Amino acid sequence: MKEPLEQQECEDGLMMKKRILVVDDEQISRDGVAEVLTDEGYEVAVAADGQEAITLLPSFQPDLVLTDLQLPGLDGIGVLNHVRSVSPTTLVMIFTADTTIDAKRRAERLGVEDYINKPLDFADLLMRVMQALTPEV
């Protein structure tokens, strides 16, 4: 069994897995990302849309939210804004098939940790997640 790549120390000195919330309305993509992250030792929750994601935030308390930009209802920017308002230290990464400069700039202005183009390359995604969750020394 693999050891988790990223953990954080709890108050009692035990190690705890980093938590990632994956938000995507495309089930195949959502499940694929969740499986890859779980296999690498992360604790993962999934949401099919932005509203479900913000409902999960208080109970799941993710270290990272990985969201699609284009979602029905509350989009990825809406998720980012909500996360920033309720949990400013939670990292947010956006992935999307929208490769326009305007979409990327808008996300970057709002403080997104990373902006990843679809189709997703799982090895690249894992590297970016690891980098985002590894504290600077």
Domain ranges of the chain: 7-133
Tens digit of pLDDT for each residue in 43-60? 999 999 999 999 999 999
Residue 12: per-residue pLDDT: 45
CATH superfamily of 7-133: Response regulator (3.40.50.2300)
d(CA 40, CA 48): 22
The predicted model scores a pTM of 0.86
d(CA 16, CA 6): 9
Question: Which residue has tokens 């109970």?
Answer: 59
> Tokens at residue 70, please?
């284009």
Residue 10: per-residue pLDDT: 47
Cα of 111 vs its chain's centroid, Å? 14
Query: Cβ(55)–Cβ(29) under 8 Å?
Result: no
